[in-house]
Amino acid sequence: MICWYWRQRGVSMGNTSSKVKNRYNSKVYDKITVQLKKDLVCRFEEKLAQEGETKAGFFRKAIQAYLGDPPD
């Protein structure tokens, strides 16, 4: 009943929490954007799925290897 009460008044229960998380993430993390051909991305995502790897995990490991850092 409480959730219904707040929804009827247009109040989002997680709004403040999301703002706090977004503020933290913007301080701690940075974003990298690339443009690649769709067929290359498709093949890349298929291989990631087969190996159970995430895009972020793949790029983090690749960057660490490139820099000579030990893997997490």
Tell me the per-residue pLDDT of 1-60, one tens digit each, with 9 for 90 and over.
455 665 666 655 567 788 899 999 999 999 999 999 999 999 999 999 999 999 999 999
**Positions of E strands within 1-72:** none
Q: How many residues comprise the chain?
A: 72
Residue 62 belongs to domain spanning = 2-67
**Which position has the higher pLDDT, 47 or 70?**
47
pLDDT given for residue 17 in this prediction? 85
pLDDT given for residue 1 in this prediction? 47
pLDDT given for residue 19 in this prediction? 87
Please compute, for residue 38, the number of CA atoms within 13 A of its CA located in the half-sphere on the CB side: 0
* Residue 52 · residue 60 · CB < 8 Å: no
pLDDT given for residue 14 in this prediction? 65
* Residue 44 · residue 50 · CB < 8 Å: no
**Domain count along the chain:** 1
Whole-angstrom Cα distance, residue 28 to residue 69?
Answer: 19
Q: Say what the pTM is.
A: 0.68
